[in-house]
Structure 1
Amino acid sequence: MKIADDDFTLFGLPPRQALERAALDARWRELQAEVHPDRFAAEGAAAQRVAMQWAVRVNEAYQRLKDPLRRAAYLCELRGAPVDAERNTAMPGAFLLQQMQWREALAEAAGLAEVEQIDAEVQRTERALLADVQRRLDDEGDAAGAAADVRALMFVHRFRQDIERRLDALDATR
């Protein structure tokens, strides 16, 4: 185990989008126990600093691997197709139109039921995009196509946050 290993190697997992969460969680607990700074208290400050670096590295890798969107973006990068969402915002016209329709519907939604209906539709789209990403990465080896889907998922994720804020606001008025 080297600190520069990719997250999958660090966790001893195959570099795939499909991931068994229980195995990830179990391995995270094992790694945390191995590198916890308290285990190195008797070895001095330098050993504790190194252990702290390892603990941070393990936690960062765990956070990235447990989140399907972050894991997909990471896999794309590992496979030479970085998502580069800050500079590459190209989206298919149909997807952009769908985004505009959702945003308009959310703005016009008068009540909880309407917002929940929009949320259900967006969640279906999110699940379909995640399935496409998994297929592209794990079955087809299409990292570039997966990167495009990840960019779309980032839009969907941000919109779902807007929906959550709207739902919270509607809950607060009850």
Structure 2
Amino acid sequence: MDISKNYFEFIGLPVSYHLDRSELSDRSRDLQKTLHPDRYAHLSDHEQRVAVQYMAYLNEAVATLKSPLLRAQYLLQLQGIDTTNESSTPMDPMFLMQQMELRERLEEVASASEPFEELEELNEEVASMLDRLRTTFVEHYEANDLSAATSDVRKMQFLEKLVLEIERLEDKLED
């Protein structure tokens, strides 16, 4: 095992946005059995610390690769592109206008006659937008158009935040 490898290599998967989630689960489960710190309890403190580091790296890798957004960000990170910096990429003005409109609709949900229906409709619309962005991200990434892929990821970040806000409002309305 080598934690200097990228997450894909560490787990034994090809470096790709598309991955088989069941294969990810199977490989991570196998690695957890091998790397679990309890297996190293009888060894030196140094070897126990290394086992804990490996397990932490595995957990971080699995969490990153399971999430479509984090996986896309990680793929770009492997190319030297940081998408977590808010000002790293200028945003498409049309996309920003669309985001403002979606957020206005979200604000109006609580006063709607059928708030849960409005939320469901908004959630489906955002999910559809995310699906399209994931598809275009893959196209751009595989074509090595990293600028466009970075723009796609930044848009996905906005939409993921909106999904969380929709979920929070739904929880609030249910209370």
TM-score after normalising by structure 2: 0.92
* 2:121 counterpart residue number: 117
Q: Is this contact kept in 2: 1:136–1:143, CA < 8 A?
A: yes
* 2:144 counterpart residue number: 141
Paired AA for residue 146 in structure 1: A
Matched, 1:67 2:70: no
Q: Is this contact kept in 1: 2:137–2:152, CA < 8 A?
A: yes
* 1:90 counterpart residue number: 90
Paired AA for residue 38 in structure 1: D
* 1:16 counterpart residue number: 16
* 1:101 counterpart residue number: 101
Structure 1 gap ranges (5+): none
Offset of 1:89 from its aligned partner?
Answer: 5.1
* Whole-Å separation in 2 of the counterparts to 1:52 and 1:38: 9
* Whole-Å separation in 2 of the counterparts to 1:89 and 1:6: 25
* 1:7 counterpart residue number: 7
1:161 is matched with which residue: 146, 159, 164? 164
Q: Is this contact kept in 1: 2:3–2:54, CA < 8 A?
A: yes
Runs of 4+ in 1 over 6 A off after TM superposition: none
Paired AA for residue 80 in structure 2: G
Paired AA for residue 124 in structure 1: S
TM-score after normalising by structure 1: 0.92
* Whole-Å separation in 2 of the counterparts to 1:18 and 1:143: 17
Larger relative contact order (CA 8 Å, sep ≥ 6)? 1
Structure 2 gap ranges (5+): none
For residues 9-88 of structure 1, the aligned pairs below 5 Å read: 9-88=9-88
Aligned-pair Cα RMSD in Å: 1.3
Paired AA for residue 157 in structure 1: E
* Whole-Å separation in 2 of the counterparts to 1:160 and 1:115: 10
Paired AA for residue 166 in structure 1: L
- How many residue pairs match? The answer is 171
Paired AA for residue 158 in structure 2: F
Secondary structure of the structure 1 residue equivalent to 2:38? helix
